[in-house]
Amino acid sequence: MNASSTTRTDPLARLESAARTAVSAVGGDAAEGLDTTLKPSAKPEFGDFQLNAAMPLGKKQGRNPREVAAELVAALASPESGVADVIEEPEIAGPGFINLRLRPQALASALEAMDDEGLGVARQDRTHAVTIDVCGVNVAKQMHVGHLRSTVIGDTVARLFERIGRKVHRQNHLGDWGLPIAMTLHSLRTRGVDLDALDLDALNVAYREAQLEAKGDAKGLAAAEANRCGPHRIAELEAQQESALAAQAAARDALVRLQSGDAEMVAAWKRLIEVTMDEVYRATTILNTRIDVDSERGESSFRDDLAEVVDAFVREGLAVEDDGALVVRFEDRERPMLIRKRDGGFLYATTDLAALRYRVQELDSDEVVYVVDARQREHFRDVFDACRMIGWATLPDGTVSELKHLGFGTVLGPDKKPLKTRSGANFKLMDLLEAAVDRGTAAVRKRADDPNAPTHGLDAAEIDGIGRAVGIAAIKYADLSCDTGRDYVFDLDRMVAFEGDTGPYLQYAHARLSTMLEKAGDRFDPAAPLLVDTPEERRLVLLLLRFGEAVADAATSLEPARLCRYLHSLATEFSTFYSACPVLKAEDDATRSSRLRLVSIVRRALADGLETLGIDAPRRM
Ligand code: ARG
């Protein structure tokens, strides 16, 4: 249970507080700091919840834990506990576990208490904001499947924080500055490419060509000379080397012009960003992520801070010279962090230092989460530590901001190697999304052919809209439901299946409930008295009562997968309930009304959970 949900006055909250009171009454000083939260029982025969404080308390006091448990049980069962009407007689099991079972009426009123907009999700009132580093695309390059993860997971983590009431800033740290971009600009200009007609594919090609042009083969040349490869080969390599050096010089020149604000250069550069971002926003829109121009805070926006960032580290004695360059050293690692090159240029790390200071200090964040490829772990370790050393992680009120790298694993192909096209190129994210949408649409259209399907007879545009939602849900859920740090295999067939641990399965469960409520019409009464009689109803209600905890837990642990698991078990538990307990054909009116209300709460929990994950929940499927 979540301690922050104590504002609730429902039976569960009362039971939690009674447990705390009992533990401190029995334990006295020894109870200090003990975990008194109620844990959901693993099996129905252990009751609904367990209180496990008797063991640590017994240990501290040097007493038999079962004896301690007996005293706790007596305290809970006494009329003064205030929960005697809420629970059945508690049982002691094994070394001193206390099994608690709520009375059906208490379960009903606990559910009643969460049956409002909030669905039992406690809102955290914090003065400071949280910043999430999302997306992080690079200008002039196609989005690939890695950007799917920084975009999807980043946005969902942001939504989770928003759901628990926190102010959130999404920051898209675009790679929009530096030599590679200047190189591309130069190459486009010398070739007289019409920037107005440019699309991202063409831009991507120009980027790669510019890289090639600037890449001489110094090693090859040395080897050719050493091995006396013949004048022809050597001359060829020399020419290549010369033109590479010329391209590099030209790119540096272009960078200087860009940096000094040359109007023509700047206009071309802006056009490159526009071409890139048009496509990025096409993807983020299809993906239903809230990443837009407001999230844009690319590397270039910190370009004027870099010299000053470096000066600050020098001034504080935290940066030292190393062979002409400036580095920050850390006590516990060999490798220093480079913040200024010998030629005076700044680095990825320098920009990240400036950005992190901005996030903590200007955006007033007491938590900054970087949703970035796990392979950048060392980079963030350095940047975070350097920021703490110089004091930029500390807010004016003394709060030390928590800096976290949520590193994600790699998306793999069927061969368990990083996902590539047959020709070995990176998959364009857009192509993957389109493939998923096609699959989803085909599945939904096929279903709609059945005269009994709720979608039968809907117009084609509506059916295709549902299909798109299904395809995207498939991709997003697959990305969110595995533990973030792990690699996973991209398998579209499995992802779009309506059965199993998939997004479409959850959507389908939600749509079934919606259809059921629609059929019930005015027989559904949102205020009907809730009856919790059968074991299936009981299990379903207990699970619903944990919705708030599931959301809060996924947010604070930065693991959307936990909410996925919760929603999946809610959908499965609902199926079990539904096969055992008729709803529209219930034995009497009171039971039917109660069950319809239960259906409606489950539907809303699913819809809310899916929305928090960033997954659409169509009403019909
Ligand atoms: N553009 C970077 C890359 O493609 C990712 C940016 C991640 N965010 C950051 N603040 N460094 O690797």
pLDDT tens, 66-108? 999 999 999 999 888 889 889 999 999 999 999 999 999 999 9
pLDDT at residue 217 in the model: 74
Q: What is the mean pLDDT of residues 338-351?
A: 95
Cβ 536 vs Cβ 581: under 8 Å: yes
Q: What is the mean pLDDT of residues 131-154?
A: 95
* Token digits of residue 67: 């004896």
pLDDT at residue 234 in the model: 82
CA angle at 212 for the pair 206 and 213, rounded to the nearest 5° = 85
> In testing the pocket of ligand 1, which one of 137, 150, 372, 408 has its CB within 8 Å of the most ligand atoms?
372
Per-residue pLDDT at 475 exceeds 80: yes
Per-residue pLDDT at 220 exceeds 80: no
State whether the Cα torsion 217-223-226-231 is positive or negative.
negative
Which residues approach ligand 1 with their CB closer than 6 A? Answer: 133, 136, 138, 173, 175, 352, 355, 370, 372
Q: What is the mean pLDDT of residues 281-300?
A: 97
pLDDT at residue 59 in the model: 94
* Token digits of residue 43: 């099996």
pLDDT in tens, 314-339: 999 999 999 999 999 999 999 999 99
CA distance 317 to 27: 52
The three state secondary structure string of 194-243 is CHHHCCHHHHHHHHHHHHHHCCCCHHHHHHHHHCCCCHHHHHHHHHHHHH
Per-residue pLDDT at 7 exceeds 60: no
State the pLDDT confidence band at 173, using cuts at 50, 70 and 90: very high
266 to 93, 182, 260, 269: CA distances (angstroms): 73, 10, 9, 5
Q: At residue 274, what is the residue type?
A: E
Per-residue pLDDT at 420 exceeds 60: yes
Which of ligand 1's atoms lies nearest the C-alpha of 376? 12
List beta partners, residue 92: 98
Per-residue pLDDT at 216 exceeds 80: no
Terminal-to-terminal C-alpha distance of the chain: 34
pLDDT in tens, 300-318: 999 999 999 999 999 999 9
CA Rg, the chain, in Å?
30
Per-residue pLDDT at 5 exceeds 70: no
Per-residue pLDDT at 8 exceeds 80: no
State the pLDDT confidence band at 242, using cuts at 50, 70 and 90: confident
State the pLDDT confidence band at 4, using cuts at 50, 70 and 90: very low
State the pLDDT confidence band at 2, using cuts at 50, 70 and 90: very low
Q: What are phi and psi of 404, to 5 degrees?
A: -135, 135
Residue nearest to atom 5 of ligand 1 (CA): 136
Query: If you measure from the C-alpha of residue 346 to the centroid of ligand 1, how many angstroms do you get, rounded to a whole number?
Result: 15
> In testing the pocket of ligand 1, which one of 134, 138, 148 has its CB within 8 Å of the most ligand atoms?
138
Q: Where are the alpha helices (DSSP H) in 293-339?
A: 306-315
Q: What are phi and psi of 192, to 5 degrees?
A: 65, 30
pLDDT at residue 9 in the model: 58
> Worst-scoring range by mean pLDDT, 14-28, 118-132, 135-149, 413-427?
413-427
Cβ 72 vs Cβ 100: under 8 Å: no
Sequence-distant (6+) residues with CB within 8 A of 223 are 229
Which pairs count as long-range contacts for 67-76, CB under 8 Å and 24+ apart, including other chains? 68/26, 68/27, 68/96, 69/96, 69/97, 69/98, 71/26, 72/22, 72/23, 72/26, 72/98, 73/98, 75/21, 75/22, 75/25, 75/26, 76/18, 76/19, 76/22, 76/100
Per-residue pLDDT at 541 exceeds 80: yes
Per-residue pLDDT at 555 exceeds 80: yes
pLDDT at residue 214 in the model: 82
Strands (E), 83-239: 91-93, 97-100, 129-134, 168-172
Residue nearest to atom 3 of ligand 1 (CA): 136
Residue nearest to atom 2 of ligand 1 (CA): 136
pLDDT at residue 1 in the model: 43
